[in-house]
Amino acid sequence: MALSRKVIKGPIIIYRKFISPLKPPTCRFYPTCSAYSLEAIEVHGAAKGTWLAMKRIAKCHPFHPGGVDLVPPRKM
């Protein structure tokens, strides 16, 4: 795995392991934003995966209905 992916995924993994368990489950999406972020970075690389994760997190507000929002497949 590229160093940039590890560096970007590190804080997400720490959040999932230590911070997320302290909060009640309130995510309006499946998969959760942190799971989506990790998968997007793994599938699309550090730059595009981070962009997709930021777009997903921007949708997380009371006026968005949520639902299933999967990581788009990588274009060949």
pLDDT in tens, 31-71: 999 999 999 999 999 999 999 999 999 998 889 898 999 99
Q: Cα separation of 60 and 63, whole Å? A: 8
Amino acid identity at 21 = P
Question: Is residue 25's pLDDT more than 90?
Answer: no
| Residue 49: exposure state from Cβ atoms within 10 A (0-12, 13-18, ≥19) | buried
According to the model, what pLDDT value does residue 26 have? 84
- pTM for this model (two decimals): 0.89
Residue 32 burial (C-beta neighbours within 10 Å; 0-12, 13-18, 19+): middle
How far apart are alpha carbons 59 and 71 in whole angstroms? 14
* Confidence check: pLDDT of 7 > 80: yes
pLDDT band at 76 (very low <50, low <70, confident <90, very high): confident
Asked if the model's pLDDT at residue 11 lies above 80, the reply is yes
